[in-house]
Chains A and B, each alone.
Chain A
Amino acid sequence: MTHARRAAKFLLDEARTDWHDASLWHVRSKRDGSISGIPEWESLRQLGSDIKDNVLSNLDAYLEEFEERATANGVIVHWATDAEEHNRIVHGILQHHGVDRIVKSKSMLTEECGLNDYLETQGVEVVDTDLGERIIQLRSEPPSHIVMPAIHLKKEEIGALFHEKLGTEPGASDPQYLTEAARQHLREKFLAARAAITGVNFAIAETGGIVVCTNEGNADMGVHLAPVQIHCMGIEKIIPRAEHLGVFTRLLARSATGQPVTIYTSHHHRPKPGGEMHVVIVDNGRTTQLGREDFRNSLKCIRCGACMNTCPIYRRSGGHSYDYTIPGPIGSILSPGIDLKKHGDLAFASTLCGSCSDVCPVKIDIHEQLYKWRQIVSAEGHLGAAKRLPLLGAGTVLRHDTLYNFVGQAARTALRLAPRAAVYHRFNAWGESRELPEIPRESFKQWYARTQNPPA
């Protein structure tokens, strides 16, 4: 199924679509309000982008430096070329300690690797502790947004879910009440867990430490109570020096939710007394993306989600319509590189309006990459006939001046005279959800010749 088909399903409920659209636009507006307090915002974005350029050009050296410092700090560093190796490493650590229940805070990498499913088949109970993540875990769903995983759900649905799974009052849907119920439920899990897993926002080469940002405090509750802490990171999470955290912490939360900073910015450098600290460094396709000149910039992403909140397509199609771990514009430039046949259509889930690139805190040229992926999808023969044939026709027309003039004139006449059913029918996929503008009587060329003549 294509993104367009899944989006069409989402759009069947118009009121809900409007609600989803407005919720995300609200977050985008908060972001705008929050950056207006930083006069140097644009130069800060440039700085973030430039630091990440340096990181990508020196990634091997920074990773080695990180491992060396981390190891000296008493941290155990692991390397995984792909998702499967990552999952085996994590399971191996748990097995070594005889751990059969863990708590986990939000990590898009472990979602990407399918860690939860893997561990559960190995008999390990995994409890996601971010409230949004726990909600979707209890619903056996993937997240629909990277920062707000349950943004697609209404409080009444969450109330019904908690009633069924956590025994809350039937019909209760007050967010305060539901959050309190989750707090009590998860506190028990925190106190019982023998190992905790988190993602990584930033890994610092200079110090060998990692930084995890949350608002709820769930990552810290897990990590500091469990004897074994495991942090999973993609290779691109590295930054050179501690001082660069100043740049990225200023960019991240403002772009993500409009907060001036996340409530908790936690810096982990050494295992707790008597504990163990592991860092798993994962490639899983990232070095391939690094080798693609046109697309390597996508690895600068700091996972703020701003491109989703602003995207007119994402807001009106929902995160699940992308059918990929990272939805929205950034996911649409990351996923075709993983599986072009499966995810190539995501390059078309955009109006190419460029709003994603405008809000990106590290200035990734997202909409330009979407455009480039479209060309690759087409060149590799993955375009559906509904797109391929009209484009083929348009290509011919646009290449020939006389033909262009003729077809333009013919279309203007035909479209004015044709009954509606002749234009909007089942063979016109474009017209399924779009209306043509009012048909003008003359072309721009004709108008120009008429009004601007005689030329100076």
Chain B
Amino acid sequence: MSLKIAVLVKQVPDHEAIVQIDADGTLDIEDRYVCSFFDEIAVEAALDIRKANADAEILALSVGGKRSVESLRRAMAMGIDQVEQLGDDSMDGADGLAVASLVAARLKTFNPDLVLAGKQAGDDDMGAVGPMVSGLMGMPLVNAATSIDVDADGGKVRMTHSMNAETWTVESGFPIVITAQKGLAEPHVPVVMRVMKAMRAKITNTSIEDLGVPASDSTGRLKRLGYYSPPTRPQVQMVSDVNELVAVLAQRGVI
């Protein structure tokens, strides 16, 4: 049986990009975008699985406008041949359920054995899309996997992930949605040749209409009220003696 793997990717600001709130209350994000950290791990994990299952078919999907194409080019440069953009820039900023609905519509025709995604995206850090796709597809879910061991012939997959204070090893049949945690795979830097090739590649797009999903209306579910600066801590109080430290901690009621 040849395995079919779908990988979900998203383009987000680099973790070192400057993000600040403008005077008019909107966000000013430095123009440094990359494929999301955990999504690249998911891409690499899919490639790792293909190393042991040479006939595995991998399809990378990204929802949104121009930026989503960039994350697909990254996935291509890393070694994925089949990529597809879902929807258009009307989906940029859509909520997790709107994104998951488009993905689920596409997966119904692709019929994957494994769906891989980052455990959360580096922009909204929501952690919604992977679990939501599992809910919409009625597939089992394993979040934040740190290892995946596929037995394609046996039709099963073994994974480890953190479950509160424990590490669980779990086993499941196909299909399943797995989200990637750090440590699952080490994303490699693609070679220049492949980057060039990916830059020139024509990226397939499937429209919201073709997917047969009602136009996204996440505004009916979430309404942004504003942005706020992170809470700041007062100037540090330096102490030179442990007894002094303990006295302050006791006074603050934390010991």
A and B co-occur in one complex: no
Interface residues of B (CB under 8 A from A): none
